[in-house]
Structure 1
Amino acid sequence: MRQLIKLLSIGSIVFLLSLSSFSQQTNEMQKFLEKAAAYEENAPDSALIYYRKVIPDLIYNSESFNNWINEANNSVKYFVAVALAQSGRIEISKGQKTKGINNLELSFEIASNINNDALSIFCSDNLAVAYAQAKSYEKAITYFKHSQFLYEKTNNINGIAYCLGNIGAIYANMDNLYGAATYYEQLLNLQRKSGQGIGSVSDILNIAMLYTRLNENSKAFRFWEMALKESLETNNKQYLGLIYSNLGSIHYKTTQYDRALVFYNKFLEHSEETQNLRDIVLALNNIAIIQFHKNNLNESVQYWELALQKAMQTGQGQVVFDALINLSNIYNLLGNHNQSIIYYEQYLALAKQINDPVFTARSLIGMAEIQFQAGNYNKSRDYYIEAYDTYNTTKKFAEASKINNLIAQTYIREYKINEGIAQYRNALDYNLHSDSLILADTYHGMADAFRMLRQFESADIYYQAALKIYTFKNKTDKAASIINAMAYMQEVNGDLPKAVVLYEQALSMAAASGNKEAGAAIYNNLGVVYRQLGDLPRARNSYLKAMTIYEQINNQDAIAYCYNNLGIIYELSGDLENASIYYEKSLTIKKNTLDVQGLSTSLLNIGNIQKLQGNFDKARDYYEQALALSEQINDSQGIAVVLANLAALYIEIGDYYKTIAYANQSKQISEAGGFLSSLRESYRQLAWAYAAINDNTQAEEAYLKVTSINHEEIDRNFSILSESEKEMFFKTVENDFARFHSFALERFDENPSISIHVYNNLLKNKGLLLKSSTAMRNAILGSKNEFLIKTFDLWIQLKQEIARLYTLPVSERDTDVEQLEEQANSLERTLVRNSAEFSQFDKSVNVYWEDIKNKLEANEAAIEFTNFKHLQGEVIYCALIITKKSDYPVMIPLFKESQLESLMGAFAGNNYQYINNIYGRLVQPEVKLYELIWMPLVKYLTGVNKVYISPSGLLHKVSFAAISKGQSGYIIDDYEIYNLSTTAHSLALMDVVIDENKALALFGGINYTINSKNKSWKYLPGTLEEIDIIEKIASNTITDIKRIAGNYATEEMFKEYAPHSNILHIATHGFFYPDPELIDNLMDFEIQFEDVQFRGGTPSFGFNNFVRNNNPLMRSGLVFAGVNDYWTGEKEISGDDGVLTALEVINIDLRKTELVVMSACETGLGEIKGSEGVYGLQRSFKMAGASYLIMSLWQVPDKETSEFMSLFYEFLSSGNSLTKAFAKTQKIMREKYDPYFWAAFVLIE
């Protein structure tokens, strides 16, 4: 740093006044000053005597001084000021600073009074220096700034530079580094402008050092480079080492490692040239650090070893310590634990020589950690114990308690869990403060140990205790770790909803704390839960997020787990080749680690692949290796899982008795440990094995255990999942129900009561997702909970936006649909979770066959149809019948699905001939459907004339009213048939009756073309006549009727009127397009018969947005005004597009709507999905809240449809209930027409 300059001499100032102004008094003063000046150098005390003779005593009295300065002439004032200044300087040099400063300040005031700038500068310069030396920096700066001002008046460059340099130095001494740098930069600029060059190297270095201390790297770099240039140009090597070192440091701090290496290598070269051993050691040290950060670990080792060698020669103890510890750490990272230990032993030996117990203890802990990482747990424990004793001896009990925890971990790693718990209990003996973090860590460790023993209740107690302290201490990352572990326990217990909630909470906390590694662990765990829920895409996404983080931090153990989990995803997806690749990657890593549990898992999974590929001997070998490892570490859950897989292997081999033996062992361990997943798998294998050896009693018991576990999981999981997530989860258990139903069919003759369980399963599972979603909506909208309703509205807005985007080609979408769907799913989970308390979902699924039986009248029956794979994989259909007298449901096999498909085709046809082939004609009935579906049931329906049916599979496409017995009529001549989504709804059927309080909305006579020349959807003249007739009929009873036709019958108008209408009648075109993957197999169906107009479309238009859409709810819909303007892309979509898809219907609130009549084609069709039934308009209107639907199963002729609807409303308006009116309409129509013209319409509850 620039130094303060010495005091100036003042003698040259004395003779500046004109001699003519001298008086006798001033002459005498002059003589005294001359004598003082003569004595000043060799006899300063004598000089002071003469200076004091010049100074009047009254000067030191402020009042007298003021009078004197006003009365005395300038000559007197001048000589007095000189005497004061010179005496003040001498007083300061003699150590009498207060007196000296006082004299200088009086002199400065007099000089200012007589406007003597030279004397003022002298005083202010010397005062500034005096105050600076006294560390009165603010006053010093004030006087230097005054001097600077006066120097600037005379353009005294040297004087200005003098002031700038000293002000900069003072600011530096004040640690006001910015101020110092500012004045030094002004000094350099002054020198440059004055032609004095850019200043000396030392001046530049002052600024560079200041900016370096300020971490202003870019500014510091500029001045270091300037100093380097100046040094090289002037061949000044004095500071080159310092400059190279600091340029290297700046590049290191800005992570420009390659540039840093350039300068540190120059620093090393310069140091070797000047033979400066200390700088050589420093250069080697820094190069070693840079190579480490460049991940050049071997090069880093070389430089550390050179630094160590040189440091030992020069006795640089700190560098020796640094080199030894860094060499130990790097060799540890390289996996060379032996070499790591050698260096650390040297480090430890030196640490002990220092005779600092605390430092020694810390060094012992470091050695223990290395031994721990090397898997030498006994040696690790020995070093920990030595450190523990050291802390105890020095009475550092808190530290000793920490060591206790570390000792416990060495036992845990050896799977000596109980010894570990005992060690943790020792830590509790130290009576730590109740909110001590060490105590929290002890609780945490004990909880982990109990978790490993699967003693979850004890684990939970200690986790809660630790969590309380971590939360109080705001240790978010540790709290996240606790919640992650608690989530895992819920996962193992099979409570996946709680696990998801806790994992998401832990993930949020880990993100808030910035702990990426903790976040990765949670992502991995969430992936496992998503996999168990059947959501494989989300599971894979979670695993990939985890793996990305682990790769960044090079955590090979964790990467191996991610490989393993990704392998499971590929295995479940049927991609065994990729699954095998990932399992092998995991195994390769695990073989080189000490993770016995992970190695066992890798072997198990490779065994699974071998089993699936039919390599049973290899599979058995891998399983047995996995079992031995799990037994070695007493991993009860791992043992249970491997045993269950061995049981599954022997099913494939055909050795059912070994299956039973292994499955029973797995079951016993799983029951004791509460391992739900392996317990279910054990029961599965037992069920299949017992059935294979014809021990049907044991098989039935095992099947019922499986279904019981599945129902429990459904109840738990449906309380938090969105609909799409519920669908994926149900797929994971769906096959269990199908296999049980297949078994029950075979066992029915032997034990008929088994059908009770089948019927109850159907009551619970049919339309399960629909029941759950509907219950949630009703609960929220009826809750008066402002938060929930607002969240629900936001969710609906998102769903509407998603539906809008699906109508657009991918290239025209301005938002990522997948991202919006994820947001919607997240909101839906929140809604499901928060509405569960007051939802009626539990009530809707807890209906049993006895409830149905007890409600039935003597003339009534309930029939649940079901379909499932049976025996050799053929899908068969069955019916289960209940009457008032039933002791159990009768289970009746009906037909193979292939038989019904051969009759109806894979896709519903629409032309006249197609329908006639299936249902016959009025004069030529067709009985094939009757023989296939109904005839087997007749003998169980004696005395019955009212039947509640719940179709399944392809039966959703069958018009039961049109099933003909032949010449004797239709089955509806013998039975009133109620078409229900589940017979559970027969318990609370409420019929619809028209009265004056109803609101009716009629849509028809729609102009499908407004501005377009395209006629994709043709005008239907019969629909206008239809709604006019209905309006006339209904107006006798209903006063609130809205008739919307022509250009006004838009999609927007429908959405506006629908929520306020009790009855909605829509006479328009409807459509349903099959799965786009199968669409190319469709034939071009006829759309005309003679001159008949049809209310349906063909798969020729709107191809990209609707026909080819992957979402089944986008391939089913109704069309409204202006649709032709958009259908072929002539008009850009800015709002509604004239197509009301089933996906959009879901988002309309139809809870007030008692009846929706879709007088259109194919509105009852959709994609059939297992127990959920039809995904199309039918499902959407139900989900939106409508009570009853009248829909069509095929394309409907315009004229006969109008007639059908007119009759229906006449009956309905005449006081008939909805069901009676519909039945009467069908009766009249079937007496006049073939089924084709009337039987398409079905009434669905």
Structure 2
Amino acid sequence: MEIGIDRATEEAKKIKRRGNIELKNNNYCNAYNLYKEALRYTQLYYSDMENKNSSLHRKLAIVLLTLSLDQPNNEIKYLKDSAMHAEQYLKIKERHRKEVKEGYIIFFTIGIYTQRSKDYDKSIEYFEKAKSILINQGFLNGYELGIIYSFIALNYRDKKDYKKASEFYEYSSRILDKNSIGMHYRGCLYRDKGELYLMMCDYDRALEEFEKCQLIFERIFGSNNIQLAEIYHFIAFSFDSKDEYEKARIYFEKSKVIFERNPNINNVALASYYKSLGEHYHKMDQLEKAQELYEKILKIDREIQKLNPDGLSGVYSNLAMIFYNKGDMAMASHYIQMGIKEFESMPYYDKQNLALIYNNFFAIHFNNCDTAKALEVFERAKNVLEENPKFNSLNLATIYNNLACLYNKINQQKKSFEFFEKSKKLLESQSKKNSVIFAMISNSQGMLYLNLSDNKKALELFEESKNIIENMPNSNKFFLGAIYNNLGLVAYQQSDYKSSLDHYTKSKDFFEKVLTPYHHNLVILYNNLAGLYLSIDDIKKAREYLFKSKEIAEKVCDAKDLSLASIYNNLGLFYFYMEEYGRSIEFFKKCKNFFKDDKNNDENCIYAYMNIGLLYVKIGEKNKAFSIYKKCRKFCERNLNPYHPKLIRIYNGLAGLYSNYKKMKKALKFYDKAVDIVDKILNSQPMSFNYDLVDVYYNLGLYYMKINENKNALQVFEKLKSIYEKMYEPFHPKLGNIYHTLSLMHLRAKNTNKALELYEKCRLIREKCLKAHDIDLVIIYNDLGVLYCNNKDYKKAYEYCEKCRIILENEHKSCSCDLKMIYLNLGSFFSQIGDKKKALEFYDKCKLILESYFNKNHPFTAKLCKILIISYYGIGEKEVAKNFYEMGKEKYNEIKKLSEPNFDTINNYANYFRTGNNKNTFYEDYYSKNSVYFKYSTSNNEHENPRHLIIKKNLTVTFIDQILNKKLLFL
């Protein structure tokens, strides 16, 4: 039934009056329904733009604004309708040129809606209008103006203009701190200021504001109020960011209790809580719990689709870190790219956080990333964070660390040192010497020193890192696994295989507990274990771990991942050492295929080719080896600078080949080229040089020995000794080796005292570095025994010969060749001091071993037989000598030529064996045994130590830190 205009007007007035009563009694839903009904009546006969309707639009705007505050789950819907009525009210007043009543509330309403809609500039415009109205009306100290300032600050905060935000929060504080009414608004102000300080990473000031808010909210709200839960959540997050985990746990629990009692809570608030709690679990290394919470957040976003992209990007980044640590690189890459996409979709984004997300992206792809692009992004991140270093200290320290790692990767060690020092100084200034970040920087810095062969400094830094982490209440097992791996490497390089195995085993225990069975870091660890087991002659274990490493690498590595190429390279080296050359070439070629179609990796291809070249040298196919070395030389001379370290390897290889071909001038030419590069680098960049490459001097010295230029050889070895003494700590194994070589040189030159001095230096080093039963100690003890015997110091001579015998009989029974030599020397010793019975005992032991060698084509058997025959004559055992002579001459023509023995022939033959008076034979043999052929990894890193078949690799660590709920990957 239709009603007339008068009736409609009257009904509208009556309903409006009822609405006013409900509004006065705070019954906002009833008021809203009545005002809406009244508006329907007026619109029956009047245009919506009639002035009569303006008051209803104003009332509806105010009621809907209040409802949006009371019902947060419908906040956006109510705000949108509220802003629509407010804008309609303004249009009507403008059309009729009427005064705007309660203008500050109308502008405030539109300001809130546009702020929630992320139209921050428009929001600021409306809040400024509301502010002007209040100031013009004289409300200079009213709480309403304080609230307006607070919302303007909120807009600037969301625009990431923290300076402006701080300014307007201060204006708000000056008013609300003095106002006796509006305690709730004052609490909200403290909360919002605290959030701003969180964004600025100023956790102490954030806590100060949150705790002021807590006092107010606990006074005015019940114990189950959601706003109180949010404050507990923010306090927990602040403590968590300060690494005060127990305090954080208490407040997370308080927040959780309230959230669980309110099933219809604001999903946005719940998502924020899940995120902070997830990051707390992330820090505690409880990755499954963290992942569960992150996935709940994504579910909330799918349901309501209104979570802040800023927060979502952090969730994606955190999930990327979890999958990275699990070894699932595909999922890690997927989530980090989703995080970047969310960040870049924001009209206003925090450039600091975007820099950190990009940092994480390149950290995840560190091993295979475009290093130039990564360097650009890390430098950009550094510049952004340096704008406010006080608030960004932890993240800036992390960026410095990552830059240091990247510069180390591209062989700019000077830059690497610089950024490590910057990182540590920054943390020390913030009293963070016992923080996780400091520990991880020490680990990264230790890897740099390890690559530079400074084992002492590397060990110091790894131990420092380990102690910090182990003293934490919830130590990070993943990180401890990496540290123990690196400690194992140091021990391995010091030939302390027992300690190395202990450390690797601890690393394995940690990794296998926290990592998936197919994690990239297990590839590295199993490689290292394989190399260690090969060093202690446990071939079965070495093979087991190599193939474990291969199996994992083939599952987790991308088809073009150079880690897989490195595995094939290492397997090639394994079979090379096992003398299974067919299998060796198979794996080297697999490695080479990784670089066949990728011109960007040609430098890595050089290493693959060089290993194939070494294999051809080993199996005697020197022409093929020449072809490969020449190809490598051509590429490197064309594409690298003339003093690039890779050329040292190539020139060294070519020199060795020419030497084997007896083309001595050509060999010298390439040795000189290699040495020139070493000298150049040592003079200009001593700290950025791979010390292993200095060993080319050793080969040059051996070359001069081979061509009987003893004076030149001695000069080269003396120079190498000087370099080693500057580069290495006093008891480094390489110093022992050079002292040994020089002692032989001086012995040949009849400088017995000098030789003895150097032998003793070598002995001290080897006794410190090697196990008590190491075969290298046997060699030194034997030589010292002979020297002291020749010097008539029989007590010392006997002492060293006995040491040899005890070690060989107890630990190296299979080394019968060495054992018969010791027995012969002991027999000679007792013969010289007149103890013929003892001499006979040891000669008989030597004879017993020699007889077992008659059917073997061993090069020294005939010579030892001659010496032993003469030795038997020397102690009057002519019948034994004669019988042994008869046995030997049937096998060796050389024995048939043996003349009647006398003291001079005994000494001559003995000296021949002990010191190599036959110069050509001695030098040829010593050259072939001791010349250094560098083994190659397929890594760009010139500093990896290829001492054994497996290229050792130290572990980098992913570190996760917080900045406004973001996770920062630490290399």
Which of the pair is proportionally richer in helix?
Answer: 2
Check whether TM > 0.5.
no
Which of the pair is proportionally richer in strand?
Answer: 1
TM-score (norm 1): 0.34
Larger radius of gyration: 1
- Greater RCO (Cα-Cα under 8 Å, separation 6 or more): 2
